[in-house]
Amino acid sequence: MGKGVFQVPTAINEPIKSYAPGTPEREEVLAAYKELYNASVDVPLYINGKEIRTGDTGTMAPPHDHQHILGTYHKAEKKHIQEAIDTAIQAREEWANLAWEQRAAVFLRAAELIAGPYRAKINAATMLAQSKNIFQAEIDAACEFIDFLRFNVEFMTKIYEDQPESTSGAWNRIEYRPLEGFVYAITPFNFTAISGNLPASAALMGNTVVWKPSDSQIFSAQVIVEIFKEAGIPDGVINVVYGDPVMITDTVLASPDFAGIHFTGSSHVFKDIWAKIGTNIHHYKTYPRIVGETGGKDFIIAHPSANAKQVATGISRGAFEYQGQKCSAASRAYIPKSLWSDVEKFLKEDIASFKMGSPEDMSNFITAVIHEGSFDKLASYIDQAKKDENAEVIIGGGYDKSKGYFIEPTVILTKDPKYTTMCTELFGPVITIYVYEDSEWSQTLELVDQTSEYALTGAIFSTDRYAATEATKALQNSAGNFYINDKPTGAVVGQQPFGGARASGTNDKAGSYLNLLRWVSPRTIKETFVSPADYRYPFLGE
Ligand code: NAD
């Protein structure tokens, strides 16, 4: 320890593989998919490095093939959660005291394992668990996850390097201590990378973690657990529990050692957790860090000067990739009357060419939505739009859950800019479009800003620099990630730090040093080399 000022390998974004026909990566991932599809796995809890099978099990199935059982997972009882908490507290001292380069090495090793030997497996597991086509799996489970791990190591060193001035005779130092207690990570279904990053980022900074993945992502979460284990994360540092989210959360939040939550998921769940933390505040030894990235109602607005084909492509990709189940997915669009007929034509052509089905058939652009609850919710909004006078389903609108939870990419046109699907997060392949009068550009910007409670992502398309500038100003609080002439999805770690404000979260920017700062509690140390030996200051002299 302390025998060098080490430099970490320069972080670079993991190159995305193509998976084009004939490439070796395509063959490998298809073979891994078949193997995982046919092997029945039994996923245990993972506490203090031990696998725990409670016997109370749930099943896992691919959303695109819901009658096929991929395996089972074990659900925790309250005593297991308590055990995970106790373990995290016990493991903290040794882990927190480990030299930072050792922690860095473990996570850099995890990144290399994903980039190499585990790439096909984690991608195939994500295709099966979350119904991602191979490209969506690759940019998430492989590339984004690797990027989080590599860049966070670099950000950690930048934080550590940030030190105060030292005047002559004294040395001022800041130690970036991990939080005093343990961190609770709750992760969503939609990104394997987020699932791995939420526990890993807190652990990288020296914290120990209790991690609860989403029920709908356990099949790929268990590959993350396997990778963390092989990377050498010591026992007790990241403890993984599955089961009733309310029981688990209530048990965790009741612990006086609860020091922070790293959450990604829906806004209402986060708000409820925040309220519970508030109720328990007198019991905690420290004020808990509350970090949550939550829902969105992400927009695209085109100016009359925009290129109609580019706008249509922004909608096709931004609204429908991964079936609109990205927190950043465009779900409302504002198109000027003069552009609408062209945008509509291009959009119809694009969507007519989308193929939908299992991700195993790599020609499918669209696959299933995550589960029956989501399917039923989306179907009910589509049915309502078919009935409502102020809305019209102009593309798609079909759905079928006989084999998998398939919802056709759907475009609703509304005359009411505050129509329910312009305001509510649906989290599926549905976008609602409002056509505005060209002369009402400025008023429409105000509408975009005022329509939803969220402020996660948004995009404007314009070739007019004045209009782009006006929109950038008018929408400065409407999105934490704002795009000019691009779709509102696809943030890259190290390039576009991600997160939104208002009801979209605490905006602590995953994929940047800002997030890591939440997992440390700095201690300032002043060391005086020769201490004064007389209390009298010169001004006290005769
Ligand atoms: P979700 O809120 O249903 O679940 C997220 C996690 O919370 C899961 O682990 C779940 O089991 C747990 N959970 C559910 N109910 C709970 C409760 N009452 N108490 C404690 N924990 C509970 O979200 P989801 O469906 O997995 O993910 C989709 C949501 O996540 C969308 O709203 C999306 O916008 C959001 N999201 C946001 C970002 C972002 O960066 N802002 C990224 C990804 C997803």
491 within a domain of the structure (yes/no): no
Pairing label, strands 45-47, 50-52: antiparallel
Same domain, 306 and 273: no
Same domain, 160 and 174: yes
363 within a domain of the structure (yes/no): yes
Please name which of 192, 409, 395 lies closest in space to residue 317, comparing C-alpha atoms: 409
Same domain, 307 and 448: yes
Output the average pLDDT for the chain.
98
Ligand 1 atom with the smallest distance to the CA of 504 is 41
Q: Where in 182-328 does DSSP place strands (E)?
A: 182-186, 209-212, 238-240, 258-264, 289-293, 298-302
Integer Cα distance of 373 and 406 in angstroms:
12
- Could you give the number of structural domains in the chain? 2
Sequence-separated contacts (24+) of 253-258 with Cβ below 8 Å: 253/184, 253/277, 253/280, 254/280, 254/283, 255/85, 255/181, 255/182, 256/283, 256/284, 256/285, 257/85, 257/89, 257/181, 257/182, 257/285, 258/181, 258/182, 258/184, 258/284, 258/288
Same domain, 246 and 389: no
135 within a domain of the structure (yes/no): no
494 within a domain of the structure (yes/no): no
Same domain, 421 and 519: no
Same domain, 307 and 447: yes
- 462-475: pLDDT as tens digits: 999 999 999 999 99
Integer Cα distance of 490 and 12 in angstroms:
17
Residue 2's pLDDT is: 75
pTM for this prediction = 0.98
**Amino acid identity of 406?**
F
Integer Cα distance of 244 and 48 in angstroms:
20
456 within a domain of the structure (yes/no): yes
Confidence of residue 133 (pLDDT cuts 50, 70, 90): very high
Ligand 1 centroid to 264 CA: how many Å?
Answer: 6
Range of the structural domain that residue 206 is part of? 45-54+78-110+153-294+505-524
Residue 465's pLDDT is: 98
Q: 144, 293, 344, 408: which is the annotated catalytic residue?
A: 293
Q: Could you tell me the CA-to-CA distances from 235 to 47, 206, 260 in Å, in that order? A: 8, 14, 20
34 within a domain of the structure (yes/no): no
Does the Cβ of 245 fall within 6 Å of ligand 1?
yes
Same domain, 347 and 424: yes
The residues, any chain, with a CB within 8 Å of residue 538's CB and separated by 6 or more, are none
Ligand 1 atom with the smallest distance to the CA of 214 is 9
Query: Is residue 428 within 8 Å of 325, Cβ to Cβ?
Result: yes
21 within a domain of the structure (yes/no): no
Residue 167's pLDDT is: 86
> Which CATH number does the domain housing residue 102 bear?
3.40.605.10
Integer Cα distance of 252 and 81 in angstroms:
7
Please name which of 422, 524, 537 lies closest in space to residue 164, comparing C-alpha atoms: 524
**Mean pLDDT, range 47-73, rounded to an integer:** 98
State yes or no: pLDDT of 202 exceeds 90.
yes
Q: Is 327 a catalytic residue?
A: yes
Same domain, 286 and 305: no
**Mean pLDDT, range 401-428, rounded to an integer:** 98
Strand partners, 430: 410
353 within a domain of the structure (yes/no): yes
Q: Is 293 a catalytic residue?
A: yes
- 298-333: pLDDT as tens digits: 999 999 999 999 999 999 999 999 999 999 999 999
> Which CATH number does the domain housing residue 391 bear?
3.40.309.10
Does the Cβ of 457 fall within 6 Å of ligand 1?
no
Please name which of 330, 335, 325 lies closest in space to residue 433, comparing C-alpha atoms: 335
Same domain, 368 and 345: yes
Same domain, 517 and 389: no
**Amino acid identity of 431?**
I
Q: At what angle do helices 465-474 and 441-451 cross, to 10 degrees?
A: 30
Pairing label, strands 406-407, 399-400: antiparallel
Residue 194's pLDDT is: 98
Residue 225's pLDDT is: 98
CB count within 10 Å of CB 380 equals 11
For residue 293, give both structure tokens. 């990235």
**Mean pLDDT, range 426-431, rounded to an integer:** 98
Does the Cβ of 261 fall within 6 Å of ligand 1?
no
Mutating to test ligand 1, I would choose from 75, 190, 253 the residue with most ligand atoms within 8 A of its C-beta, which is 190
Same domain, 304 and 266: no
Radius of gyration for the chain, computed over Cα atoms and rounded to the nearest angstrom: 25
Same domain, 286 and 377: no
